[in-house]
């Protein structure tokens, strides 16, 4: 039985045939990995930090909310792996082991955890209205920041939050405004999708 609390299962219901169901899962995981990769190409490099401004966190949040914790996190794990294997999927078309495990590795790990967290909340209907959806997306963003800044501090050998040069200043502060816009977009898209599904089905949740 499909999990009807997730928007994807109301838009594209899992088929009963196992092979077709497995193909559907593969398409969803690959599709959202490619969405994250596409959004990563919207890149703005800042001269003072190795972390670029990109659109990829929007893909992460949408993957978790749409697919749930298991498939959402799997899509982000696949995204990380595809770039690691040499596909030009990271910001600016970069790829490879060095990029995947370098100063920004914490963000890739954060993508996986954030997608799982947002997906878990989506299963509990956090995506049904803007306020709760925004809260879930905010949590996902905080997870990404925590993992990203923590690894950045370790990788560069700098303090997390103290001193003139620290990981928060390099890996969090420059991205607050842009990420606020992205989480508002993600927070609005899911409730809007549910409204459309209800109208099509003529049902009230």
Q: Distance from first CA to last CA of the chain, Å, rounded? A: 19
Q: How far is CA 30 from the centre of its chain?
A: 14
Average pLDDT for residues 167-186, to the nearest whole number?
93
118 within 8 A of 64, measured Cβ to Cβ: yes
Record the tokens describing residue 15, joined without a space.
Answer: 């088929």
Confidence at residue 205, expressed as pLDDT on a 0 to 100 scale? 47
Supply the pTM of this predicted model. 0.94
The closest of 83, 80, 33, 77 to 59, measured between CA atoms, is 33
At 16-41, the pLDDT tens digits run 999 999 999 999 999 999 999 999 99
At 104-145, the pLDDT tens digits run 999 999 999 999 999 999 999 999 999 999 999 999 999 999
Give the bridge partners for 53, in sequence order: 44
Average pLDDT for residues 167-194, to the nearest whole number?
94
Confidence of residue 2 (pLDDT cuts 50, 70, 90): low
Average pLDDT for residues 10-20, to the nearest whole number?
93
Average pLDDT for residues 49-56, to the nearest whole number?
86
134 within 8 A of 187, measured Cβ to Cβ: yes
At 62-113, the pLDDT tens digits run 999 999 999 999 999 999 999 999 999 999 899 999 999 999 999 999 999 9
Q: How far is CA 199 from the centre of its chain?
A: 28
The closest of 112, 117, 91 to 102, measured between CA atoms, is 91
């Amino acid at each position: 039985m499909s999990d009807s609390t997730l928007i994807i299962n109301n838009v594209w219901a899992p088929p009963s045939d196992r092979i077709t169901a497995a193909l559907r899962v593969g398409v969803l995981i690959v599709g959202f990995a490619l969405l994250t990769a596409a959004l990563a190409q919207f890149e703005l490099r800042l001269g003072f930090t190795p972390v670029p401004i990109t659109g990829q966190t929007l893909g992460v949040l949408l993957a978790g909310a749409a697919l749930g914790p298991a498939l959402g996190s799997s899509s982000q794990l696949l995204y990380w792996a595809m770039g690691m294997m040499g596909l030009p999927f990271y910001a600016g078309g970069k790829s490879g082991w060095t990029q995947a495990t370098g100063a920004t590795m914490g963000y890739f790990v954060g993508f996986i955890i954030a997608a799982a967290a947002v997906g878990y909340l989506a299963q509990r209907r956090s995506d049904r209205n803007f306020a709760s959806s925004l809260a879930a997306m905010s949590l996902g963003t905080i997870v990404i920041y925590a993992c990203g800044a923590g690894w950045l501090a370790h990788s560069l050998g700098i303090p997390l939050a103290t001193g003139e040069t620290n990981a928060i200043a390099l890996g969090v502060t420059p991205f607050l405004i842009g990420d606020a816009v992205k989480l508002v977009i993600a927070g609005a898209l899911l409730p809007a999708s549910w409204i459309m599904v209800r109208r099509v089905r003529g049902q009230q949740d």
